[in-house]
A and B are shown apart, each in its own frame.
Chain A
Amino acid sequence: MVEKLGAVAPAPEPEPERPAGNRALRKLRRSPAALFGGLLVTFFVVVAVLAPVLPIPGPAETDWGAVRKAPSMAHWFGTDEIGRDVLSRMIWGAQASLLAGVVSVVIAVLLGVPLGVLAGYARGWTDAVISRFTEALLATPFLILAIALAAFLGPSLTNAMIAIGLSAMPIFIRLARAQTMSVLTEDYVESAHAVGVGHLALVWRYVLPNIFPPILVQATLTIATAIIAEASLSFLGLGQQPPAPSWGSMLNIAKNFLEQAPWMALWPGMAIFLVVLGFNLLGDGLRDALDPRDT
């Protein structure tokens, strides 16, 4: 089965050379693409964290005399439909977008991984029930599911994160289940079980550490899709609510002023693109670096 939202992860390419030691980190550092991705992500994180101390106008500060003004020295990114500084809203909006990406993936991981491990460990009926449930979730179009959930919970950033988290959960269930099953067939796990190591201890000591790398890779890539999903929901009016900014909700407004104020649509779109690209590059790099076939 394929991940949702088109971010299908192909198998990593075979590497001829196999350096030993602190291999993963070194490989990551040697990949310019992954470094660039890390740099992009770091940049946006730093900007988002520093938002309160940067010398910019408040994101809700209005100026009736400067409505929809093109970029200038006073407003580098221009002003929006009610005279707010777009740069400031972009910076504050970074908080919303990054938070949405990370929190919704955390929700998906916290719900999905235990369910997946349970299914893979317990097998039998538990597995069948969880698997059918996962398939049903996967078969419901992601965005429709998220729209319906967000509409049900009421439009807000928190609810959008919950909706995205729930919709992204099945990927982690599947991944955790498959990984658990494969770990359990390893000899050392079987012998540990034979010498009487308990279920929980077994999961804790052997299963979790082994499934961590692929989950980390998947989580990084899913943050990228989650950020786009938040933007999509906000674009439909179901995410961040005014006056608080998020890139998606800025685009939602901006599409009404495409002709008069194209910059309102340009910047948030660019920002989404760059940060998502960052997470995708980082995720790709992590996957190559953590590829177990290299050990």
Chain B
Amino acid sequence: MLAFLGRRCLIAIPTIILISIFVFGLQKLLPGDPVLVMAGEERDPELIALLREKYRLNDPIPVQYAAWVGNIVQGDLGISLRTQQPVTALIAEKLPVTVQLAVMALIIALVIGIPAGVLSAYKKGTWIDWVANVVALSGLSVPNFWLGIMMILLVSVQLGWLPASGYVPLSEDPGQSIRTMLMPAFVLGTALAATLMRHTRSAMLGVLQSDYVRTARAKGMGEGTVLVKHALRNALVPIVTVTTLLFGELLAGAVLTEQIFTIPGFGKLVVDAVFNRDYAVVQGVVLCTGVAFIFLNILADATQRVLNPRMRQE
């Protein structure tokens, strides 16, 4: 196991270097002079020259890259060109927001997805299976920004049940925090619930036809016990893997959801930064997400190995 983890982490190093080059390169490719935006409506030429100098925008790109990497190694992701807050502080501030959103979305997805998948597999071929499948595919097909808009229209504007936007930290007022996050989490969770349902169903179908389930049934065990204790437990391996991977997807999927519900998280931070040409922020955030994604992948593979002993021999 340790050897496996070590090897995976070693392979991750060139990937991370590549990501850093992407991230840095993309930024340099973005058109529109960041300094021109920063200099304000008057665009004083003297100030523009000065800012270019200060943010080393006149240096050759490899030199800029080297300086950037040098700082990162020391734990410094630079400062936001727009508000002058350190990027590391911004990330520390935004991460809990997006994690809360992602966790809530994941819970919603698990609560809907797994039971639906189990039921649909158990009732394979009946109308329950059919409905569950159609609903799941619909969940995958609905553009979630549109779902978000429609929910704001219905739940907030028309019915006034939930706040249309905003964010209250969990530590400040847990009830209100969950209330404000409920709609965005639901929107983000639908596609995931659908994905999970499909995976659960397919895993369960495999397991339900296996010998030990048949044996358990033959022994006269109750259907509920068979389903949960024998079938679901064995089907959990692929489900857990998918869930770990989906968590990475969630962080990325939060981009539009946060934009629509004005949630001050990672996604909103990075999109606003792209539009404001706030280089340091875009670079820092994308790099962090990329690295997180890679480690989630390693984690997913590791979990799979732990849960499924057969894989260790391969």
Q: Given A10-B202, A251-B146, do A277 and B249 touch, yes or no (CB 8 Å)? A: no
Tell me how far the C-beta of B7 lies from the nearest C-beta in chain A, rounded to whole angstroms.
Answer: 13
Please tell me which stretch of B58-66, B178-186, B190-198, B224-232 contacts chain A, meaning at least 4 of its Cβ atoms lie within 8 angstroms of it: B190-198
Within 8 A of A (CB), among B5-26: 11, 14-16, 18-19, 22-23, 26
- Cβ of A232 within 8 Å of any chain B Cβ, yes or no, is yes
Tell me how far the C-beta of A230 lies from the nearest C-beta in chain B, rounded to whole angstroms.
Answer: 10
Within 8 A of A (CB), among B190-230: 191-192, 194-195, 198-199, 201-203, 205-206, 209
Tell me how far the C-beta of A264 lies from the nearest C-beta in chain B, rounded to whole angstroms.
Answer: 11
Residues of A within 8 A of B194 (CB): 6
Interface size range on B against A: 35 or more
Q: How many residues of A contact B (CB 8 A)?
A: 56
Residues of B within 8 A of A265 (CB): 146, 149-150, 153
Within 8 A of B (CB), among A116-145: 132-133, 135-145
The residue that A14 contacts in the complex, of B149, B157, B209, with Cβ under 8 A, is B209
- CA–CA, A133 and B63, complex, Å: 23
- Cβ of B141 within 8 Å of any chain A Cβ, yes or no, is yes
Q: Given A132-B14, A235-B145, do A8 and B242 touch, yes or no (CB 8 Å)? A: yes
Residues of B within 8 A of A280 (CB): 137, 140-141
Please tell me which stretch of A63-71, A76-84, A147-155, A208-216 contacts chain B, meaning at least 4 of its Cβ atoms lie within 8 angstroms of it: A147-155
Residues of A within 8 A of B209 (CB): 14
The residue that B133 contacts in the complex, of A11, A33, A151, with Cβ under 8 A, is A33
- CA–CA, A273 and B249, complex, Å: 21
Residues of B within 8 A of A192 (CB): none
**Do B145 and A147 touch across chains, with their CB atoms under 8 A apart?**
no
Q: Is the interface of B mostly helix, strand, loop or mixed?
A: helix
Within 8 A of A (CB), among B132-188: 133-134, 137-138, 140-143, 145-146, 149-150, 152-153, 157
**Do A8 and B149 touch across chains, with their CB atoms under 8 A apart?**
no
Q: Given A132-B15, A137-B22, do A224 and B141 touch, yes or no (CB 8 Å)? A: yes
- Cβ of B89 within 8 Å of any chain A Cβ, yes or no, is no
Query: Who on chain A is nearest to B29 by CB?
Result: A152
Residues of B within 8 A of A140 (CB): 19, 22-23, 286, 289-290
**Do A139 and B150 touch across chains, with their CB atoms under 8 A apart?**
no
- CA–CA, A280 and B154, complex, Å: 27
Within 8 A of A (CB), among B24-43: 26-27, 29-31
Residues of B within 8 A of A232 (CB): 143, 145, 256
- CA–CA, A184 and B18, complex, Å: 29
**Do B146 and A148 touch across chains, with their CB atoms under 8 A apart?**
no
Q: Given A13-B202, A269-B146, do A259 and B157 touch, yes or no (CB 8 Å)? A: yes
**Do B198 and A139 touch across chains, with their CB atoms under 8 A apart?**
no
The residue that B143 contacts in the complex, of A33, A133, A154, A269, with Cβ under 8 A, is A269
Q: Which of B15, B16, B124, B194 neighbours the largest number of chain A CB atoms within 10 Å of its CB?
A: B15
Question: Scoring B residues 277 to 290 as 1 if CB is less than 8 Å from chain A, else 0, what string do you get?
Answer: 00000100010011
Residues of B within 8 A of A133 (CB): 18
Q: Which of A2, A133, A236 neighbours the largest number of chain B CB atoms within 10 Å of its CB?
A: A2
- Cβ of A87 within 8 Å of any chain B Cβ, yes or no, is no
**Do B145 and A251 touch across chains, with their CB atoms under 8 A apart?**
yes
**Do A132 and B274 touch across chains, with their CB atoms under 8 A apart?**
no
- Cβ of B86 within 8 Å of any chain A Cβ, yes or no, is no
Tell me how far the C-beta of A167 lies from the nearest C-beta in chain B, rounded to whole angstroms.
Answer: 11
8 pairs, A vs B, C-beta closer than 8 Å: A6-B192, A7-B140, A143-B253, A148-B26, A148-B274, A254-B149, A265-B150, A265-B153
**Which B residues lie at the A interface, using CB under 8 A?**
11, 14-16, 18-19, 22-23, 26-27, 29-31, 124, 133-134, 137-138, 140-143, 145-146, 149-150, 152-153, 157, 191-192, 194-195, 198-199, 201-203, 205-206, 209, 242, 245-246, 249, 251-253, 255-256, 259, 270-271, 274-275, 282, 286, 289-291, 293-294, 297
| Given A144-B255, A251-B146, A265-B146, 11 more pairs with CB closer than 8 A | A7-B140, A14-B206, A132-B15, A133-B18, A139-B19, A147-B271, A148-B26, A236-B271, A251-B145, A273-B138, A273-B142
